[in-house]
Amino acid sequence: MAEFWELSFRDKNTMWGFEPADAAIATLSLFREKGLNKILIPGFGYGRNAKVFTDAGFNVTGIEISETAIALAQKHYGKNVKVYHGSVSAMPFDQEFYDGIFCYALIHLLDKKERVKLITDCYNQLQPDGYMVFVTISKNDATYGNGVELSKDRFETRHGVQLFLYNSDSIKEEFGKYGIIDLKEIEEPAKNMGDRPSQKFWLITCRKQEK
């Protein structure tokens, strides 16, 4: 996977533009409402979703598998955000605890063992009463069934990307013991932009109970 994303960022650079995802803006509102400050973003990319948090004064740390993406983030957004270079499968990268975690369109790229580890690792790095938000592709999206079926609800696309598409049952199976407080299907982007057609995603919000 590391080589795929490194080549993708080298070839396409800022492939998703600079506007943050609608889900990032919604998560910013939640994190502000809850008074959070210290945020971890696994799957940092080139920082388009991090900028809304840094602009709002949040202390942001990222994890990103592509060195090229990290260099792009530093070029466009400055070097004031700490980004660990490596795969999320190598978490934790530090012994810090975070108020909030935002993970956008990453977990569905992983196999079952990797998905479970990512959820667990994120939860373990949350402060008590902290929140983690995952955005992941839905089984109701038009891409479901495209490509070679690898296992139940998991396919390899013609571009070589492996996708696991979630429904509410698989979300509850994998996130159920990690404090789900909200689960809803969304269109991302919220409005069809023509060149960026909307897809169906799940917005999963979990809260770590205080002990």
pTM score, two decimals?
A: 0.90
Rounded Cα distance between 98 and 61, Å, is 9
CA geometry: angle at 203 spanning 142 and 176, to 5°?
110
- The SS3 of residue 106 is coil
Residue-range domain boundaries for the chain: 1-208
Q: In the CATH scheme, what is the code of domain 1-208?
A: 3.40.50.150
pLDDT at residue 3 in the model? 60
Q: Which residues of 114-138 are buried (b: 16+ CB within 10 A; e: fewer)?
A: bbebbbebbbebbeeebbbbbbbbb
Helices (H), 13-82: 22-33, 51-55, 67-77
Q: Which of 11, 77, 26 minimizes the C-alpha distance to 189?
A: 26
pLDDT at residue 173 in the model? 97
pLDDT at residue 45 in the model? 87
Check: CB of residue 150 under 8 Å from CB of residue 156: yes
Which residues of the chain register pLDDT less than 50?
A: 5-6
pLDDT at residue 151 in the model? 95
Say if residue 193 is exposed, middle or buried (CB neighbours under 10 Å; 0-12, 13-18, 19+).
exposed
